[in-house]
Amino acid sequence: MARRDGLGRIVLYAACLPVLLFLLLPSLVIVPMALTKGQMIQFPPIWISVHSFADYIEDPQWFRSTVLSFEVAALAVAIGCITGSAAALALHDRRFPGKGLVTGAIMAPIVVPLVVLALGGYMVFAWLHLIGGWMAIGLLHGMLVTPYVFISVQTSLVAALNPVLVRSARSLGAGRASVLRHVIWPAIRPGVLAGGLLGFAVSFDEVVIALFLQGPDAVTLPVRMFTAIQFELTPKVAASASLFLVLSVLVLLAQAAVMRRRASGRAAA
Amino acid sequence: MNVALPIAATAPLGEARHHLSVEHVWKSYTSGVHVVRDVSFTLAPGEFLTLLGPSGSGKTSTLMMVAGFEAPTRGAIRVDGRDVAQLPPERRNFGVVFQGYALFPHMTVLDNVAFPLRMKGLGGAARRRAAMEMLDKVGLADFAARRPRALSGGQQQRVALARALVFEPDALLLDEPLGALDRKLRESLQIEIKEIQRRVGVSILFVTHDQDEAMMMSDRIAVMQDGQIAQLGAPDEVYLHPETPFVAGFLGDTNLLRGQCVGLGEGAAIVRFAGDAIGPARLSRGGGRPGVGDAVLVSIRPERIGLLRPDEVAACVIEGVVADRVFLGRHTRLVVHALGQMLVVSVAEPPGADVVAGAAVRLGWSREDAQILHEMGTGATR
């Protein structure tokens, strides 16, 4: 019995390992490629140098794109958190005809193909003469972030907002604003945080919209990488991709921390 | 758990002065359903009044209308004569304690108790001092810095009471605060609520579906059924002299006997039961008087029926045959076939060994123990 178990486990590992490698390799291969000595991005890399990281940081265009990507993501997260939370609060515990339609409209940016959003956004912002600025990209990304925050806050509301707390606060003299501040905000804070983090990741590496709405002074980091890989083949691409890897790991860790705090808070309450 | 509060023997620290009255309140929905129908009662200063009823009887809806979470369709809710029915809950002045207590989990005990004072715009130092004083009154001053979840159920209840009392509400409204707890804890918390009421001197409107809880705690009980008050009175009055079959059945076990009114006297009637047994029974105060010849329904509590010795007499004496005998510790329950039906008799003293199934017995009760019921349109018996 024990031998069979051992054998079964070996077979299991043997079957799973290739799958895991297949999933992880494209991500992991980026870091050694960034550590090449050569002036071209290549595989296998020529070991070992960090010059591509230095090049990436010192290149003003790449630096500008990195900052721009952060600006875009910050604007998108700010918009998404406000609209997503507001929408979740407005729809919570409320029944009315057409609620499904409203929810569908909020979720649409996740479902509608990005090219469609990008093209539509391009037309509208062109008409408004906003093409070529980071604001346009940030605004459209904000739309993309909204459903993520919406779902996350909705989950928080269902899980953590005890409706009796709202009644209790009101009976103790709290008006709408006080209820929002003292009862609702503490309950949805983890949801806003988790949704915001996810939204940040979504906006930061979004390419399609950023490509459509780019201008000479509005090239986000992923778009810069995309262009570079086509014309320059510089290892800066791999260096910046490593930055993405680090950022996404950080976002994942932060989300896990938020979730754990939320879970422990609920278990104890 | 059943800890006596530290300053239990002191005189009341406050005095209730406010008078709450609910006048002909209705709550109807557009679907035509009336969840509360013409409910009226008054809560005198310092009184403990309980709305008692099964789920769906309208007791919680009534309380929520007093608290302001639901608007009455018709009727007035007055505090010292002023109608508050149109005010939102935050502008009324009631302390509400909910089931589960609804303490704010992210605030300390002190901040929880200080919260209503903060909402009223009291400064930081003043409200902390007042909250601390209130916590001291409920014996929790040492727990001020803790979070609610670090407290036991009983301590949480005291925090909830402190929070609902700290702003000197016109009345305290309690919505089944003990509903989810086990029996032992319930009993000790019932005593605590009464004790805190005595010490702070506040009027309490209490909602429960537990008749024992209602009897133990209340000055008066309003038994609710189908959105109406079926009977309102002191616990012993409601228990011993129920006016409807529903009230009789809801407040404990009872025997319902059908009979015919054969004579009327002062507050009582002479009833002829099946088998031609004749005895007096009290008339209900609220219900109408039956006429001579009318069919009547009489309620007699199992513990009010006596097992008579051969030489003993009573206002009404009947004969029956024992069908079953069960020893239940505090009392012995006999099921007796008499008057063409099964009667449940509960005797405190274990009857003699000859009282077993098949034995003939004599049963009797007094005029005060038999109560003529007033049958309402919806009077279903439980």
Q: Of the given ranges (A44-53, B100-109, B311-320), which has the lowest mean pLDDT? A: A44-53
Using an 8 Å Cβ cutoff, are B176 and B207 in contact?
yes
Cα gap B323→B332, rounded to integer Å: 13
Count of domains observed in chain B = 2
Cα gap A209→B274, rounded to integer Å: 90
Contacts of A169 in chain B (CB under 8 A): 104, 115
Interface of B with A in 119-158 (CB under 8 A): 119-120, 149
Residue B10 confidence class, pLDDT cut points 50, 70, 90: very low
Residue at a domain's end among B181, B212, B240: B240
Interface of B with A in 52-81 (CB under 8 A): 67-69
Burial B274-292 (b: 16+ CB within 10 A, else e): eeebbbbbbbbeeeeebee
User: Does the distance separating the beta carbons of B149 and A168 come in below 8 Å?
Assistant: no
ipTM: 0.78
pLDDT of residue A256: 85
User: Does the distance separating the beta carbons of B96 and A167 come in below 8 Å?
Assistant: yes
Strand ranges (DSSP E) for chain B? 20-28, 34-43, 48-52, 74-79, 82-83, 94-97, 171-175, 204-208, 220-225, 228-233, 255-265, 268-273, 278-282, 295-300, 306-308, 316-327, 332-338, 341-347, 360-365, 370-373
Cα gap B248→B240, rounded to integer Å: 8
User: Does the distance separating the beta carbons of A165 and B102 come in below 8 Å?
Assistant: yes
Mean pLDDT of B130-134: 92
Q: Radius of gyration over alpha carbons of chain A, in Å?
A: 23
Residue A13 neighbours by CB under 8 Å, 6+ apart: none
Mutate to test the interface with A, among B63, B119, B163, B168 (most CBs of A within 10 A): B119
Does residue A27 fall inside a structural domain? no
Mean pLDDT of B7-35: 77
B269 and B235 co-located in one domain: no
CATH, residue A48: 1.10.3720.10
The predicted-structure confidence for B176-207, as pLDDT tens digits, reads as follows 888 767 788 888 889 888 988 888 889 999 99
B234 and B292 co-located in one domain: no
Q: How far is A82 from chain B (nearest CA, A)?
A: 23
CATH, residue B320: 2.40.50.100
The predicted-structure confidence for A65-116, as pLDDT tens digits, reads as follows 999 999 999 999 999 999 999 999 999 888 899 999 999 999 999 999 999 9
Contacts of B98 in chain A (CB under 8 A): 164, 167-168
B225 and B179 co-located in one domain: yes
pLDDT at B352 over 90: no
Does residue A20 fall inside a structural domain? no
Q: Establish, for the pair of chains A and B, how many residue pairs have beta carbons separated by less than 8 Å.
A: 65
Using an 8 Å Cβ cutoff, are B84 and B68 in contact?
yes
Q: Of the given ranges (A128-137, B125-134, B219-228), which has the lowest mean pLDDT? A: A128-137
Does residue B30 fall inside a structural domain? yes
Contacts of B106 in chain A (CB under 8 A): 186
The predicted-structure confidence for B235-245, as pLDDT tens digits, reads as follows 999 998 898 88
CB-closest option in A167, A172, A265 to B119? A172
* B100 in A contact zone (CB under 8 Å): yes
pLDDT of residue B118: 93
Contacts of A165 in chain B (CB under 8 A): 102, 104
* B98 in A contact zone (CB under 8 Å): yes
List the structure tokens of A189.
Answer: 């804070």
Secondary structure of residue A127 in the 3-state scheme: helix
User: Does the distance separating the beta carbons of B69 and A170 come in below 8 Å?
Assistant: yes
B93 and B214 co-located in one domain: yes
List the structure tokens of B135.
Answer: 């916590």
* CA-to-CA dists, residue A26 to A90, B77, B301, angstroms: 42, 71, 82
Chain A residues within 8 A (CB-CB) of chain B? 162, 164-165, 167-175, 178, 182-183, 186, 265, 268-269
Query: In chain A, whose CA is at the least distance from the CA of B97?
Result: A168
B58 and B82 co-located in one domain: yes
pLDDT at B339 over 90: no
Using an 8 Å Cβ cutoff, are B82 and B91 in contact?
no
Contacts of A175 in chain B (CB under 8 A): 90, 119
List the structure tokens of A167.
Answer: 């009644």
Mean pLDDT of A34-45: 78
Contacts of B60 in chain A (CB under 8 A): none
Cα gap B171→B99, rounded to integer Å: 17
Contacts of A162 in chain B (CB under 8 A): 100, 102
The predicted-structure confidence for B70-127, as pLDDT tens digits, reads as follows 999 999 999 998 999 889 999 999 999 998 889 999 899 999 999 999 998 888 899 9
pLDDT at B287 over 90: no
* B90 in A contact zone (CB under 8 Å): yes
Query: In chain A, whose CA is at the least distance from the CA of B167?
Result: A172
Q: How far is CA B198 from the centre of its chain?
A: 18
Does residue B296 fall inside a structural domain? yes
User: Does the distance separating the beta carbons of A171 and B89 come in below 8 Å?
Assistant: yes
Mutate to test the interface with A, among B61, B69, B106, B161 (most CBs of A within 10 A): B106
Structure-token match 């901040």, residue found:
B111
Cα gap A244→A238, rounded to integer Å: 10
Mutate to test the interface with A, among B65, B87, B96, B174 (most CBs of A within 10 A): B96
Does residue A71 fall inside a structural domain? yes
Contacts of B161 in chain A (CB under 8 A): none
Residue at a domain's end among B240, B272, B300: B240
The predicted-structure confidence for B138-157, as pLDDT tens digits, reads as follows 888 999 999 999 998 888 98
Does residue A10 fall inside a structural domain? no
Residue A162 confidence class, pLDDT cut points 50, 70, 90: confident
Structure-token match 């309980």, residue found:
B50
The predicted-structure confidence for A163-221, as pLDDT tens digits, reads as follows 889 999 999 999 889 999 999 999 999 899 999 999 999 999 899 999 999 888 889 99
Query: In chain A, whose CA is at the least distance from the CA of B115?
Result: A172
Using an 8 Å Cβ cutoff, are B204 and B49 in contact?
yes
DSSP code, position A215 = B
Query: In chain B, whose CA is at the least distance from the CA of A165?
Result: B102
Contacts of B175 in chain A (CB under 8 A): none
Does residue A172 fall inside a structural domain? yes
Mean pLDDT of B51-70: 93
* B180 in A contact zone (CB under 8 Å): no
Contacts of A186 in chain B (CB under 8 A): 104-106
Count CB atoms within 10 A of the CB of residue B380.
11
pLDDT of residue B375: 66
The helix (H) or strand (E) run that includes residue A129 is: none
B148 and B195 co-located in one domain: yes
pLDDT of residue A263: 66
User: Does the distance separating the beta carbons of A182 and B104 come in below 8 Å?
Assistant: yes
Residue A242 confidence class, pLDDT cut points 50, 70, 90: confident
The predicted-structure confidence for B258-281, as pLDDT tens digits, reads as follows 888 898 888 888 999 887 888 899
The predicted-structure confidence for A226-241, as pLDDT tens digits, reads as follows 888 888 778 888 888 8
Residue B9 neighbours by CB under 8 Å, 6+ apart: none
Q: What proportion of chain B, given as a percentage, has pLDDT over 90?
A: 49
Count of domains observed in chain A = 1
* B104 in A contact zone (CB under 8 Å): yes
Q: Is the torsion defined by CA of A223, A228, A233, A234 positive or negative?
A: negative
Angle between the A236-268 and A134-160 helix axes, to the nearest 10 degrees?
20
pLDDT of residue A102: 93
Mean pLDDT of B6-19: 58
Contacts of B149 in chain A (CB under 8 A): 268-269
Q: What is the extent of the structural domain holding B30? A: 20-240
pLDDT at B2 over 50: no
Residue B380 confidence class, pLDDT cut points 50, 70, 90: very low
B118 and B138 co-located in one domain: yes
Does residue A201 fall inside a structural domain? yes
Does residue A22 fall inside a structural domain? no
CB-closest option in A168, A174, A182 to B102? A168
Q: How far is B169 from chain A (nearest CA, A)?
A: 9
pLDDT of residue B38: 93
Write the DSSP string, A78-90. HHHHHHHHHHHHH
* B116 in A contact zone (CB under 8 Å): yes
B60 and B192 co-located in one domain: yes
B266 and B136 co-located in one domain: no
Does residue B4 fall inside a structural domain? no
Does residue B361 fall inside a structural domain? yes
Mean pLDDT of A25-47: 79
B35 and B161 co-located in one domain: yes
Residue at a domain's end among B214, B240, B266: B240
pLDDT at B1 over 60: no
pLDDT of residue B14: 61
Q: What is the extent of the structural domain holding A183? A: 35-268
B177 and B276 co-located in one domain: no
Residue B15 confidence class, pLDDT cut points 50, 70, 90: low
Count CB atoms within 10 A of the CB of residue B331.
16
User: Does the distance separating the beta carbons of A170 and B102 come in below 8 Å?
Assistant: no
Using an 8 Å Cβ cutoff, are B297 and B324 in contact?
no
Mean pLDDT of A118-144: 91
* CA-to-CA dists, residue B335 to B79, B299, B332, angstroms: 50, 16, 10
Does residue A77 fall inside a structural domain? yes
CATH, residue B116: 3.40.50.300
